[in-house]
Amino acid sequence: MFLENKASRNHKKGWIEVICGSMFSGKTEELLRRIRRAEFANQKIELFKPAIDTRYDETEVVSHNENSRVSTPVNNSSEILLYINMNEVQVVAIDEVQFFDDGIVEVCNELANAGIRVIVSGLDMDYKGVPFGPMPKLMAVAEYVSKQHAICTRCGDLAHFSYRIVQKAQQVLLGEKDTYEPLCRHCFNEALK
Give the residue numbers marked as catalytic.
96
Please answer whether residues 27 and 124 qualify as being in contact, where contact means their C-beta atoms are separated by less than 8 angstroms. Answer: no
Spatial CB neighbours of 22, under 8 Å, sequence gap ≥ 6 = 123, 124, 125, 148, 149, 150, 159, 160, 161, 162, 182
Please answer whether residues 73 and 58 qualify as being in contact, where contact means their C-beta atoms are separated by less than 8 angstroms. Answer: yes
Give the C-alpha separation, 183 to 111, whole Å: 35
Please answer whether residues 143 and 120 qualify as being in contact, where contact means their C-beta atoms are separated by less than 8 angstroms. Answer: no
Backbone angles phi, psi at 179, to 5 degrees: -120, -35
How many CB atoms lie under 10 A from the CB of residue 176? 11
Helix (H, G, I), strand (E, B) or coil at 190: helix
